[in-house]
């Protein structure tokens, strides 16, 4: 799959997390946004060192669909259990990923 597909999936998931936060009438937690962002940076650092393996698995539609379904499940659990922290962390994570993806695409020759 392409970076465009990755971006579209991330935007869909970010919308779900944002919608969950609105549906729960929960405030955005800046510390948890930061935790989510740092988690994404950590994951990307590890994934970069194994990029061929990551891409091999991520390019499978079943993996992408399962990941999207898992993210929607996290939104559902987050709304019920701890909306401010769980959903804010997801928003931070996805926003950071989209910024990271944008940076990679902008710097690619």
The pLDDT tens digits of the residues spanning 13-51 come to 999 999 999 999 999 999 999 999 999 999 999 999 999
pTM summary value: 0.93
pLDDT band at 3 (very low <50, low <70, confident <90, very high): confident
Instruction: With CA atoms as reference, report the closest residue to 43 among 6, 106, 97.
Output: 97
- Mean of all residue pLDDT scores within the chain: 95
What is residue 95's predicted lDDT score, i.e. its pLDDT? 98
């Amino acid at each position: 799959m392409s970076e465009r597909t990755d971006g579209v999936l991330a935007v869909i998931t970010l919308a779900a997390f944002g919608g969950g936060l609105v549906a729960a009438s929960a405030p955005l937690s800046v510390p948890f946004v930061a935790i989510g962002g740092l988690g994404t940076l950590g994951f990307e650092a590890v994934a970069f060192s194994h990029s061929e393996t990551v891409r091999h698995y991520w390019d499978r539609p079943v993996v992408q669909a399962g990941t999207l379904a898992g993210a929607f499940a996290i939104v559902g659990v987050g709304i019920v259990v701890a909306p401010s922290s769980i959903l804010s962390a997801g928003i931070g994570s996805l926003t950071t990923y989209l910024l990271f993806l944008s940076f990679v695409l902008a710097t690619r020759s």
